[in-house]
Amino acid sequence: MRLKDKVAVITGAGRGIGRAAADLFAQEGASVVLVDVCENLGAEAQRTIEGNGGKAIFIHADVARTEDIQGLFATTMEVYGALHVLYNNAAIFAGKDDGPVTTVTEEVWDRVLGVNLRGLFLCCKYGVPLIIESGGGSVITTSSSAGVLGIPGCDAYTATKGATIALTRSMAVEFGPQGVRVNCIAPAGVDTEMLRESSLDSEDFDEDYFLQRTPFRRYGTPSEIARLALFLASDDSSYLNGAIVRADGGITITPIS
């Protein structure tokens, strides 16, 4: 029960990595606030966690909308009275609509930055003061291999994931003195709907090349990332602050052959 008596907000908790983290955090004793823009996924996650004896509420919210995020934290405080963990996991990948800066439209650029970067900003803006008020805790951010490598063809997404790393470091320095640790998970190739939409379903994606470049020769699973998030959320990582943890099977440190 590594999150006993902790209250954790997880954005994008309806499916994929966020869902795996929600299940695990609840098993480890947390009261989990499930945030998702998709009503069905969020409601289903809440039902399953409660069915397994865990504590969870689902809040339907779009992380890019100020009113939604203000409402999310107001409800969190009303229901659970504290906030200890904020796991910023929600993001979108715009598929073929994203691209090099020369071709991506301003509308797509704004949409991707709206969810992936403004969403992170809003959740931290309204969530971090509550963590401080609750006696300190952990903020987890989510970057990507796109934040540490020059991956072509998705410049809006890449810009948000690079900015996430920079913001993780500045927040770690800003809020460390008030007992808030801020660390970042940078995955690559985790088997979720986003991987299917961004890579597996694209005729340009060279799966053999991708797997050959990954020392483990396989994708990661949502539960492998969730277990890292659990470590970062819990007191087990009490001296970790500003860390960018590449959870990618080693793909970003493999030389191109």
Contact pick of 22, 33, 41, 139 for ligand NAD (by CB under 6 A): 41
DSSP 3-state assignment of 83? coil
Is 122 a binding residue for ligand NAD by CB under 6 A? The answer is no
| Backbone φ, ψ for residue 2 (5° rounding) | -75, -10
Is 38 a binding residue for ligand NAD by CB under 6 A? The answer is yes
Binding-residue total with ligand NAD (CB under 6 A)? 31
Window contacting ligand NAD (CB under 6 A); options: 47-55, 129-137, 168-176, 192-200: 192-200
**Least separation in angstroms between CB 139 and ligand NAD:** 14
Among positions 208-247, residues that touch ligand NAD (CB under 6 A) are none
Closer CB to ligand NAD, 41 or 94, in the complex: 41
Q: Do 49 and 257 meet the contact criterion of CB atoms below 8 Å apart?
A: no
In the bound state, the residue with its beta carbon closest to ligand NAD is 16
Is 190 a binding residue for ligand NAD by CB under 6 A? The answer is yes
Is 112 a binding residue for ligand NAD by CB under 6 A? The answer is no
Q: Measured between alpha carbons, how far apart are the two ends of the chain, in Å?
A: 44
Say which DSSP state 149 is in. Answer: S
Nearest to 72 by CA among 64, 61, 81: 61
Q: Do 63 and 111 meet the contact criterion of CB atoms below 8 Å apart?
A: no
Please identify every residue annotated as catalytic: 157
β strands within the chain, DSSP E: 7-11, 31-36, 55-60, 85-87, 137-142, 180-187, 244-247
Window contacting ligand NAD (CB under 6 A); options: 22-30, 33-41, 46-54, 173-181: 33-41
DSSP 3-state assignment of 247? strand
Which residues form the interface with ligand NAD (CB under 6 A)? 11-12, 14-18, 35-38, 41, 62-64, 89-92, 115, 119, 142, 144, 187-190, 192-195
